[in-house]
Amino acid sequence: MTSASASRAPAPLPLSIITGFLGAGKTTLLNALLRSPELADTVVIINEFGEIGLDHLLVERAEGDMLVLSSGCLCCSIRGDLITTLEDLLRRRDNGRMPPFGRVLIETTGLADPAPVLHTIMYHPYLMLRFGLDGVVTLVDAVNGAATLDAHAEAVKQVAVADRLVLTKSDLVDTPQQREALGTLLDRLRLLNPAATILDAAKGEATAAALLDAGLYDPSRKIADVGRWLRAEAYADASREHDHAHGHGQHRHDVNRHDAHIRAFCLRSEALIAPAAFEMFLALLRSQHGPRLLRVKGIVALADDPSRPVVIHGVQHLFHPPVRLAAWPDPDHSTRIVFIMRDMPAGFVEELWGAFTGAPDGPDAAALADNPLAPRLGGLLG
């Protein structure tokens, strides 16, 4: 592709995912959002579970097009339909057969795991060029949220991968016991996903302006806003609280609950890492622990060009192709990678990183001997 043709390539369209367990209020929120001027040129893809599109009957028609996918669940059989639908939308938009929409919203069924939808956008060769993941919005019921998290691992995962958390039905909380339970639920959400902004719908906080444009690039300035995207500082306090609670046997939640398996932390390092070593670091994590990596986001200082960091974004075993920035977006030139993991200790990731960067606390050979990629790792480390 020539530089001239590259300059004519359309900017990626922001795509947001709205999820949340059954009864959390996704349709109510979507109705409110569609009345916002910011969504006047938005295409909405509504996923429905079952043969009858009951949810569609509850969604008001807004300016532009609204698509209803009713052949199954977005997390499984409908995935191929989603690809076809998004490709068809782009063709119709490019050919002038529909208004030039500027944003796409996908509402998943309450039973959905958001990961396959994220995979579709992040890894499909064409879609990842035309769409930019703007963020995942997860709704949590203030009244029934704790019980839902206790009973359903899918609900915990929806919270863990979110960029924005929307608390719904808080106006129904009125007794002292309910208010105390809500405070415990909020603490729990912050431990599960420290970086996600929590917005209260009943207080009018879940506006389009607050929920949208949560991706890497600031749409107003068209430049990377890594600090806003990562919110790495939020993980330090959460990690200390997690360790303190477990160290004293006083974790707020029963260890049998699903969220006891989730750990969020930020790896921060001043050490430069060689590009080949970094590729191997990611390869080891993906191949051996992919299902446990619920979400990974970071900015990395590579040894070949320390002045131009690389941004990474992964969901489970699939990672978006790394993006090399023209310069550091802020004065902090350290590597910062945030992890939300399931059944995986933060210490393993930190030791593996230390092995590749030569940090003094990196593991010895025995620490990685059981890994099938250990021979390649040993050769790379010399």
Say yes or no: 287 and 159 in one domain.
Answer: no
Q: Which domain holds residue 341?
A: 241-381
156 DSSP assignment: H
Say yes or no: 174 and 89 in one domain.
Answer: yes
Q: What are the 10-residue block averages of pLDDT along the chain, 382 residues in total?
A: 52 91 89 86 76 58 62 60 88 88 87 83 88 94 94 92 96 94 95 95 95 82 82 75 48 55 92 94 91 94 96 91 91 95 90 82 45 47 44
The Cα 72–Cα 247 span in angstroms is: 44
Say yes or no: 101 and 145 in one domain.
Answer: yes
> How does strand 103-107 pair with strand 42-47?
parallel
The Cα 226–Cα 126 span in angstroms is: 25
Domain final position from 215, 230, 252: 215
The Cα 251–Cα 260 span in angstroms is: 9
Burial per residue of 342-378, b for 16 or more beta-carbon CB atoms within 10 angstroms, e otherwise: bebebebbbbbbbbbbeeeebeeeeebeeeeeeeebe
Say yes or no: 99 and 208 in one domain.
Answer: yes
How confident is the model at residue 235, as a pLDDT?
86
Say yes or no: 40 and 79 in one domain.
Answer: yes
Domain assignment present for residue 227? The answer is no
Domain assignment present for residue 13? The answer is yes
How confident is the model at residue 145, as a pLDDT?
94
Say yes or no: 206 and 259 in one domain.
Answer: no
How confident is the model at residue 224, as a pLDDT?
81
Say yes or no: 291 and 142 in one domain.
Answer: no
How confident is the model at residue 17, as a pLDDT?
93
Say yes or no: 204 and 254 in one domain.
Answer: no
Say yes or no: 72 and 205 in one domain.
Answer: yes
How many structural domains compose the chain? Answer: 2
Say yes or no: 334 and 204 in one domain.
Answer: no
Domain assignment present for residue 248? The answer is yes
Taking only Cα atoms into account, the Rg of the chain, rounded to an integer number of angstroms, comes to 21
The Cα 242–Cα 262 span in angstroms is: 11
Domain assignment present for residue 233? The answer is no
Domain assignment present for residue 106? The answer is yes
Say yes or no: 173 and 280 in one domain.
Answer: no
CATH number assigned to the domain comprising residue 250: 3.30.1220.10
Say yes or no: 208 and 338 in one domain.
Answer: no
Q: Which residue has the tokens 């409908």?
A: 78
How confident is the model at residue 80, as a pLDDT?
65
Domain assignment present for residue 230? The answer is no
